[in-house]
Structure 1
């Protein structure tokens, strides 16, 4: 990507300002001035950033029900803005202080993990193209039919693992936590695609990166991050440890006392929640930090011309860190070495979002302008609110649009791109698979003037116009998606605007329509079979007692399974995100047990019907009922197997 504008404005020296407002106002602001010239620095916009954020913060907090928010902006080697908005503790009306209060940064932690891994690469202790097994000690990831996983595949989330979270990613009680090593061994996901081929965001992969850091350095993850990143950058209010945790001795009491409380937000408003423990896979999301400390981290990445004390990597390694190991998605967002590499108003960006169940963060960097914005919240209705605000701050204050119109490329037919697509960041081999058609399905339809209409719960929805080379641009946000074709030339996959996952054309077997249809057919067939069996029983036209019982019990078991399945879906909807703690739910457990008990009954019933069919010992109407029921039983067993409901695949 090229820088759109070359700017030559020389900056006057600004005086460092620190302004603390009354806690009753729920707002704390600091501004640190620029003290040296910087190509591309706009003093007018920098001086007005405080007024701008003050003006937009209040309506945003109200519209998104944000409890507390911290903001930091860096430019040209300096922290030019720090502010706190709302409350770190809503009940006690304690206002956010951006230098005092620690927020959960969620997956922004991954930026630290990959920075640490890059330090080991710089030191020659880890090789980018090496097999990760070279560094994992006695714990090995089998190459299998998908080939060896390289270190660069960890950086880019191209390891080929399926995804999962329910029941083990977060813990409520720190006593339930295990070590990172034990976590990686106990919860190793299946590999479902070739290593290095397709991007699919993976917490487990980042856990492996953290484990490599531990083994190669000889230090625990939190010790390494503290000594090699936090200490050099003077990030004195940051930690990868958690309060009251047994891992690493836990967060210090001094830092724990400064943690912002966390809240879930729904239609009823904010509700205080307990701490979400993720220290057992700390490299993926455990760091807590202040906006002030995060500003120092941003400076270390974007201020290559002003390294000073804000330095973690030498300039050559830093350039490598900010480039892409894989180059098969030029023009669309993809991973550099751990951070997503995209574009905003024609400028190249590096960014990462973070989310726990309550806390949401976003960090966006513009290296060409030595610019960075970090925003964090401890409760919000929309998890994307910090990211959307960070983009607004950049585009409305620093990144001038200029002539950023892309040429429109005529396209005669968009039908090859239309259809239903399902996220590839999902479980393939476990019962958790049932979530994803509800939460990760994207529908693409043809719109007017050769445009695509894209909708879905976790996608940049809207109208997309064709750019050429299988790329489409959202006409509102300007973000780009890119399609890939299979060996036959059919479009079978596209990458999200964020670039961290792909959406693959939905197969018939993964369709909820098919699943529900088979359940409905099985229910109708079971009811018909049950009525027929009861009539036969009452008329005393029966065979042996065993076959009579089977003819009644097998349809009853189908009815029970269908009812339990419906109750399970209802329970899942009721629990929402809480499901990560209580998986599997009570109805799901009963459902799986019911299926395991029913399978022998269904197999016996199907075998009996086939036996009588071969002997031609069934009457006409009875023949239709029995054969239909057997056919539906076979379909039901197949679809239950497809959705991992046979057996305990938690």
Structure 2
């Protein structure tokens, strides 16, 4: 074959290979399918519309993605885009590429619970303490029962445990019951009152499934959901113990670099595995979605069970979309529910439109990805043009001035020194005119317009991310006081008050700044004074002065250690409870040592001649340290983590 003949053929083959690499369809859109999506896209244009949208983001927001659309019990679109492995140039295949599902796993927990409810073995309104040992109940703060409905709506009242959701080694994994009892967070809200997203509570529901069924949760999941649906390329086992072959086709998870491009994420494990350890393919997840859409679902014996599961079970206000037995309600017409997932290196989302038997699955191999995981679902279920809103007379609206102030998110840690992190991202709310609001957080700002009494809807912002942050808010008012601002999903926004009010926070900040500056700079000043005294041949300092110097040095060590703990809490994902408690113990030792040295310095100073300046310095150090120690205690730096 001559060269001129080979080059065109070679070029053609390369172009075909590139097409295969960047777009691997298993099913094309069924062009014979009539009708259109809820957003108005004709089904015979489904592939063109999805391709156009995905191609503008693939390689930018994520290296790879798999998208599947179902109608009834049929897959009408299935396609892979980009790379599952950038280095090896492995194409994404929706039938074979294995992604981490993340919190999508929670939908399988709720399905398991509803199966047991249907079988008469569980009740949604039963106190969950009936399923667990007394050791669990002793750690609850409120006597009010926690029900399975509370867990499903994330209103069980738990704070986040400071321990990372992930662990780098399988050696750190224990049984689900042991993991839950050893890392039980504090219950800081009354059940049913505040939405605070909880992986712990979800895993607790998984343990309830274990106790009632007599099977481990991963076995129950496999035997009653995955295997019956033919999900043969999925596993909920925390180590893929029931499906080790899936490791051969796992996608590499990535994070987006600040300078652009992607960096691979290390492999991880999820100790609270029912909350987010599941892995599988996009087409397997589509089988689950189809089972939720068909009237004769193989998951349940009665059609009304799945209908009930996908209907609203909780909302803070009837005008706010919220929760359907653990599934989140999405902003669309007709009624749409689903669940997203995000873990290290992976993001995903799925949506179910029961009235149209439509299902959508989007999986990507990049963490915190939203351009596709949210964008594709919005593309298919949200109307392009907004329906005209019914205007409520201004006289019927509530004055927004009472909402002005600062807020924090409910879904944080508030009983350990990690509480401080929540206040690094305060949410500022200001009244705009008589009835509207301006909300600002972490550099984002937007306007929310009151559409009915105490219900505020996103109006405008310079940053498109703001609408995802606060699409709608309901202001719950009780006895003239703001209880919470709720968007109905994941986490509420709570007003700061009392010892965490803005005046108090300013006082804390001033005291902390003075103490940190003093204990960082004082050793330098003392060293310089010591060198000067040594050169001049001055007599050595008194015992009282040496004790005070030792106290200041120990105070410096304590200050540096506090800063280290905070930095570690912010950036170290692999710190253990043992390491955190060692830090707390060291705080105790250093704090007591500083106090004792200052006290001894006062005692010695009474019996030795000293200048007034030295006495004033000692008093100043004593007062400053006392305030600093009280500040540390107030922010839980002496509180051991259970």
TM-score between both structures, scaled by the size of structure 1:
0.82
Which residue, out of 438, 459, 462, partners 2:446? Answer: 462
Shift of 1:416: 1.9
Shift of 1:626: 3.9
Write the deviation string for residues 544-573 of structure 1: whole angstroms up to 9, x where unpaired.
x3x433311222222333334445545555
Shift of 1:77: 4.4
Asked whether 1:484 is paired with 2:470, we answer: no
- C-alpha separation in 2, matches of 1:571 and 1:429: 17
Which residue, out of 407, 414, 428, partners 2:400? Answer: 414
The answer to which of 445-454 and 106-115 deviates more is 445-454
Which residue, out of 400, 405, 424, partners 2:389? Answer: 405
Write the deviation string for residues 458-495 of structure 1: whole angstroms up to 9, x where unpaired.
9x8522111233211111549211122344x1224212
- C-alpha separation in 2, matches of 1:45 and 1:498: 31
Which residue of structure 1 aligns with residue 336 of structure 2?
349
Which residue of structure 2 aligns with residue 202 of structure 1?
198
Shift of 1:70: 0.9
Which residue of structure 1 aligns with residue 304 of structure 2?
316
Shift of 1:212: 0.9
- C-alpha separation in 2, matches of 1:320 and 1:42: 25
Query: Is the alpha carbon distance of 1:648 and 1:42 closer, same or farther for their aligned partners in structure 2, counting shifts above 3 Å?
Result: closer
Residues 406 and 429 in structure 2, CA contact (< 8 A), matched pair in contact too: yes
Write the deviation string for residues 475-521 of structure 1: whole angstroms up to 9, x where unpaired.
1549211122344x1224212x4621112112464576554422222
Query: Is the alpha carbon distance of 1:139 and 1:385 closer, same or farther for their aligned partners in structure 2, counting shifts above 3 Å?
Result: farther
SS at structure 2 position matched to 1:157: coil
Which residue of structure 2 aligns with residue 10 of structure 1?
none
Query: Is the alpha carbon distance of 1:403 and 1:429 closer, same or farther for their aligned partners in structure 2, counting shifts above 3 Å?
Result: closer
Asked whether 1:475 is paired with 2:462, we answer: no
- C-alpha separation in 1, matches of 2:195 and 2:29: 39
Q: Cα RMSD over matched residues?
A: 3.7
Which residue of structure 2 aligns with residue 276 of structure 1?
268
- C-alpha separation in 2, matches of 1:618 and 1:317: 83
- C-alpha separation in 1, matches of 2:244 and 2:597: 64
Residues 59 and 82 in structure 2, CA contact (< 8 A), matched pair in contact too: no
- C-alpha separation in 2, matches of 1:527 and 1:618: 25
Consecutive unaligned residues of structure 2, counting only runs of 5 or more, are 1-15, 461-466
SS at structure 1 position matched to 2:193: coil
Consecutive unaligned residues of structure 1, counting only runs of 5 or more, are 1-18
Query: Is the alpha carbon distance of 1:357 and 1:250 closer, same or farther for their aligned partners in structure 2, counting shifts above 3 Å?
Result: same
Shift of 1:377: 0.7
Which residue of structure 2 aligns with residue 5 of structure 1?
none
Which residue of structure 2 aligns with residue 337 of structure 1?
325
Shift of 1:203: 0.6
Query: Is the alpha carbon distance of 1:625 and 1:182 closer, same or farther for their aligned partners in structure 2, counting shifts above 3 Å?
Result: same
Which residue of structure 1 aligns with residue 379 of structure 2?
393
- C-alpha separation in 2, matches of 1:417 and 1:568: 34
Residues 75 and 370 in structure 1, CA contact (< 8 A), matched pair in contact too: yes
The answer to which of 476-485 and 176-185 deviates more is 476-485
- C-alpha separation in 2, matches of 1:42 and 1:566: 51
Asked whether 1:358 is paired with 2:345, we answer: yes
Query: Is the alpha carbon distance of 1:258 and 1:335 closer, same or farther for their aligned partners in structure 2, counting shifts above 3 Å?
Result: same
Shift of 1:158: 1.5
- C-alpha separation in 1, matches of 2:285 and 2:388: 31
Alignment of 1:619-638 (within 5 A): 625-638=617-630
- C-alpha separation in 1, matches of 2:178 and 2:582: 29
- C-alpha separation in 2, matches of 1:590 and 1:211: 30
Residues 162 and 191 in structure 1, CA contact (< 8 A), matched pair in contact too: yes
SS at structure 1 position matched to 2:331: strand
Which residue of structure 1 aligns with residue 11 of structure 2?
none
- C-alpha separation in 2, matches of 1:342 and 1:456: 23
The answer to which of 261-270 and 206-215 deviates more is 261-270
Asked whether 1:517 is paired with 2:510, we answer: yes
Which residue, out of 413, 418, 427, partners 1:442? Answer: 427
Residues 80 and 92 in structure 2, CA contact (< 8 A), matched pair in contact too: yes
Which residue, out of 413, 433, 441, partners 1:427? Answer: 413
- C-alpha separation in 2, matches of 1:514 and 1:385: 42
Alignment of 1:17-36 (within 5 A): 22-28=19-25, 30-31=27-28, 33=30
- C-alpha separation in 2, matches of 1:21 and 1:297: 32
- C-alpha separation in 2, matches of 1:173 and 1:131: 35
Residues 154 and 196 in structure 2, CA contact (< 8 A), matched pair in contact too: yes
The answer to which of 125-134 and 33-42 deviates more is 33-42
Write the deviation string for residues 295-341 of structure 1: whole angstroms up to 9, x where unpaired.
2222222x2xx434555462222232123334542212322211112
TM-score between both structures, scaled by the size of structure 2:
0.83
Query: Is the alpha carbon distance of 1:529 and 1:130 closer, same or farther for their aligned partners in structure 2, counting shifts above 3 Å?
Result: same
SS at structure 1 position matched to 2:57: helix
Asked whether 1:376 is paired with 2:363, we answer: yes
Query: Is the alpha carbon distance of 1:582 and 1:201 closer, same or farther for their aligned partners in structure 2, counting shifts above 3 Å?
Result: same
Asked whether 1:218 is paired with 2:205, we answer: no
Residues 366 and 372 in structure 1, CA contact (< 8 A), matched pair in contact too: yes
Query: Is the alpha carbon distance of 1:515 and 1:106 closer, same or farther for their aligned partners in structure 2, counting shifts above 3 Å?
Result: farther
SS at structure 2 position matched to 1:385: coil
Which residue, out of 106, 109, 128, partners 2:105? Answer: 109
